[in-house]
Amino acid sequence: MTSPTAVVLAAGEGERLRPLTRNRPKPLLPAGPTPILEHVLDTLTAVGIKEIVVVVGYNGSRVQNYVGSTHDDADVTYVSQDTQLGSGHALLQAEDAVDGPFVVVNGDQIVAPRIVQEVLDAHRDASDATATLGALDRDDVHRYGGVAIEDGEATDLAERPGNGSDYRLNAGIYAFDQSIFGALHATEFEQGDLPLTSGLQTMIDRSETVRAVRTEGLWADANYPWDILTLARELFEHGFLSGSDDPATGIAESAHVHESAVLQSPVVVADDAVVEAGAVLGPNVCVGQNTTVGANAVLENAVLDADVRVGPNATLEDCVISQGGYVGAGTTATGGPADVRIGERVLTEQRLGAVVADRARLEGDVTIEPGTLIGPEAQIRAGVTLYENVPAGTEVRR
């Protein structure tokens, strides 16, 4: 395959990531100092993709406004999935936008360019294949989708397979010819949903050749708010973020870090960010664009999105602070493990201090118990101690 079109599935919301996805889709959540989707597009252009079709849906205008019509040397166009009915249904929205072989990736998963390249190469070399997918050897395959492989062919696809030893992790990287659309049209919806893997299973059941290439490299996904911290750590560990050896290499030219601040690698400080005197950052800290960390603040294992303000003497451990969040002076959020309530579910023993969603404001000397989720535009007045989640737009006083 020579520079095929890429289809990026970026229509979903990511409900389990609320409150972070209350105002924006999962692909625009931060992976380090930049959105997940930007890493996805970087991977595609790194393997020579020149035409990208992005399927948008939930808050799709935000995706379009962020990405625009080009990324590096690739042209970017958009199609819309007006109702989220599954990844297979999302791909069907791009049927008229692609011609010939093409590659499909998820806009909310970070993968190494090597994985995409090896899928493309395997599909090009297998003249009998109507589809080729990437598979990884992972111990946590039971949390995701699995693929059974025999003699280089996919023989079965399973969601969260119980017996992980019989399945490899389905990396969600696919190369297709046009027959995938016919297979999807012929596949019945499952409880109002049409997964892309069901269309692939239809191809397998029809005895079409679906190749599976076993590969390796960075593959990272975020299902819950604390996974934003995991994404950053994995990007550091795999060398996809600067600062993995020398903290100074992770500081953008337009950022300002006071000479008395202490950076414990790995740390990355994005454009126009400010780190004031005596602040201690790291390890595993990402400071987003136009964000300020106040004097003597202490941050460890934290992701600060763009336009965040952290006041002097604040202490944040295992925390995610979303766009425009304000954390006042002396605020303390210590790290997990913690029990975290997501909707009606309680997930135990999660490494999480606090999540502060878009434009939430915490005045000075707020104390936050581990595992607390604070919704967008919440107002937490000075001196409050938070023991439980705070819904969007709520004001909390002493």
Q: Given a cut of 90, is residue 142 above it in pLDDT?
A: no
Residue 115 domain flag: yes
Report pLDDT for 12: 86
Q: In this structure, are 122 and 217 located in the same domain? A: yes
Q: In this structure, are 182 and 257 located in the same domain? A: no
Q: Given a cut of 60, is residue 292 above it in pLDDT?
A: yes
Q: Which of 93-102, 152-161, 190-199, 238-247 has the lowest mean pLDDT?
A: 238-247
**Does residue 190 contact residue 157 with C-beta atoms inside 8 Å?**
no
Report pLDDT for 15: 87
Confidence of residue 2 (pLDDT cuts 50, 70, 90): low
CATH number at residue 311: 2.160.10.10
Sorted by sequence, the CB contacts under 8 Å of residue 125 that are 6+ apart come out as: none
What mean pLDDT do residues 79-104 have?
93
Choose the most confident range, by mean pLDDT, from 130-144, 228-242, 370-384: 370-384
Residue 228 domain flag: no
What mean pLDDT do residues 373-381 have?
97
Residue 131 domain flag: yes
Q: In this structure, are 77 and 113 located in the same domain? A: yes
Sorted by sequence, the CB contacts under 8 Å of residue 95 that are 6+ apart come out as: 181
Residue 57 CA to residue 10 CA, distance in Å, equals 7
pTM for the model: 0.91
Q: In this structure, are 197 and 271 located in the same domain? A: no
Q: In this structure, are 187 and 132 located in the same domain? A: yes
Residue 226 domain flag: no
Q: In this structure, are 119 and 25 located in the same domain? A: yes
CATH number at residue 187: 3.90.550.10
State pLDDT tens for residues 15-35. 889 999 998 999 999 998 899
Q: In this structure, are 171 and 275 located in the same domain? A: no
Q: In this structure, are 187 and 63 located in the same domain? A: yes
The encoded tokens of residue 349 equal 């023993």
Report pLDDT for 286: 95
* Percentage, residues of the chain above pLDDT 70: 96
**Does residue 41 contact residue 67 with C-beta atoms inside 8 Å?**
yes
Q: In this structure, are 295 and 359 located in the same domain? A: yes
Report pLDDT for 239: 84
Please confirm whether the linkage preceding 19 is cis (ω < 30° from 0). yes
Residue 227 domain flag: no
**Does residue 322 contact residue 304 with C-beta atoms inside 8 Å?**
no
State pLDDT tens for residues 176-218. 999 999 999 999 898 888 999 999 999 999 988 899 999 999 9
Q: In this structure, are 251 and 135 located in the same domain? A: no
The range of the structural domain enclosing residue 159 comes to 5-221
The domain boundary residue, chosen from 221, 256, 273:
221
Q: In this structure, are 160 and 212 located in the same domain? A: yes
Q: In this structure, are 15 and 78 located in the same domain? A: yes
Confidence of residue 244 (pLDDT cuts 50, 70, 90): very low
Report pLDDT for 117: 94
Residue 234 domain flag: no
What mean pLDDT do residues 370-388 have?
96
Residue 233 domain flag: no
State pLDDT tens for residues 111-123. 999 999 999 999 9
**Does residue 187 contact residue 197 with C-beta atoms inside 8 Å?**
no
Q: How far is Cα of residue 233 from the mean position of the Cα atoms in its chain?
A: 12
Sorted by sequence, the CB contacts under 8 Å of residue 61 that are 6+ apart come out as: none
* Better pLDDT: 308 or 149: 308
What do you get for the CA distance between the two ends of the chain, in Å? Answer: 63
Which secondary structure element, helix H or strand E, spans residue 26, and what is its range? none
Report the domain count for the chain.
2
Report pLDDT for 92: 95
Give the bridge partners for 150, in sequence order. 153
Report pLDDT for 163: 58
